[in-house]
Chains A and B, each alone.
Chain A
Amino acid sequence: MLTVTSLFSAQSLAQDTALHRRLDFIHYLIGREEYKDAIFLLEKEIKEPLQRSHPLSDSIYHLMGWSAYMQKDLTNSSLWFEKVSLQSTSYLKCRLFATYNSIYLGDTLHARELLQGLRPDTGWQTELVAFEKGGLNLLSRDLAAYRRIAASFTHTFYPLVQEERRFDQIATLLEQNKPKSMTLAAMMSAVLPGSGKVYAGKTGEGVSSFLIVTVLGLITWENYRQDGLSDYKTILAGTALGFYYVGNIWGSAFAAQRQNKRYNYEINQRILFDLHIPLRTIFN
């Protein structure tokens, strides 16, 4: 009986040792930034019909999530990070990276769910979770909610000090920002071709549009003066002028919209960047 028990426990020990050896190699591959190879081996491990201890399974999921994250495969990275159990020492890291992945992929609802489920047990963890929530509120432009959360920032935890300050600056910028009006841009271009684009921040495009409309106008006028309104050359030049004039009004309205989108995109990129840096600083 004792011999059989010993045989099984020895076999299980050997299996775990072999797995540890394989995981060592995967760690080495990740250290060398050979993420594709690491994922290839981790997938093989996951497919193996072995009885693994919880910590070992968590290690595999964690490494899989990390490799996928480094390969910028954020969807799969989230899937693996979320499989890591609460007992794991890397649970907080995995949840926060899964949250970041979801935010980056635009699934803010899921990101909120992940953050809600976290129970940080130390001061810096609480502040980090609050910081991530604050970033989410900035991304969804809920500035009142951001200000409420920002009131709890201590501004003393080193990896967050600069990012918290930048979040405050972004919130102020967003409060002061006046979006460009599409109607105003269109009206300005109707009165003076190209001026709507200048208002939308596209000075070069505005000047170019003004010159083209002027040249087309001069060509139409010249042909009209020489051959009258019904001549085909006047009609051709006039049609080109008409199309360009109306197109420029339309383009000015969309230039204003594009400018607003670009502004929001740039702000969002800054928020995402600031959300990301502390995670890499703390958990690297």
Chain B
Amino acid sequence: MLAFIIRRVVQSAIVMLVVALVAFALFRYVGDPINSMVGQETSLADREALRTRLGLNDPFVIQFGRFVGNALQGNFGISYRLQQPVMELILQRLPATLELALVSGLAAFILGVSAGVYTALNRRGVIPSAIMAASLIGVSLPTFLIGILLIWLFAVELQWLPSFGRGDTVTLPGGWVTGFLTSSGRQSLILPAITLGLFQMTLIMRLVRAEMLEVLRTDYIKFARARGLPNRTVHFGHALKNTLVPVITITGLQLGAIIAFAIITETVFQWPGVGALFINSVRAVDVPVMAAYLVLIALIFVIINLIVDLLYYAVDPRLRVERSAARH
């Protein structure tokens, strides 16, 4: 167990180092940092002096080491486009993205599991078939079209919900700007959260359904029924419990995808989050922000992957045997 944890942590550290290298290469070699700092009338000698003062003439390894050291302290330089420290920009927008991702992830999990259980237990009938057909559309519709469709239906035609922005926000102590505490903030959250979570919801639903159908066929379910246990106990105590291990894994891994796909949702709904910041930086070739976003997203992914792997290992005893048998 300990050897496994250490190996996974080392692997994660290597991945982060590679990502940092890519981010540094971006930072250093895409465009000339000096050109984006000084005006046209700066003389060549002045440019060279600035270059030396900023350490851009140092050997590659030293520059990379300095980049990693700064990154560890959360210092990613200054945005070319907005002339503000990159970390400040990201921290300002992070709460918006995290709240959105949290709500859509939770909604996807809860609705996906309930719909999956429901369609697995009621395989025939109009409503389960309708849910399955709708899930097919949910999988094949591109995210941005879902967002536009929802805006058109609920914001333009019905005028129930706002179509863009976060509504009124409240700043909590510690600088966290939340939209949860005002009614317009909560209303603004609904459409983006559905857009972002719909794909994950259909994914979880189909997974739960398939796993449930699989488990319901096994012997121990038959024995549980033969013992005369009520349906409710068999379905939720025996069947659902055994489907949840892969479901939790997939949900965990999809959390990273949700944060990445927030780029699209945030653009459609003009949500002031990190994704919107990133896409504007790509348009303007604002390299420091791109590099910092890359490192941040990689960190989130690596941490989620690590936690999921460890959870998987801890939750399912069968895997421990298989893995140790396969690897040693």
| Genuine A/B complex | no
Residues of B that sit less than 8 Å from A by CB: none
Residues of A that sit less than 8 Å from B by CB: none
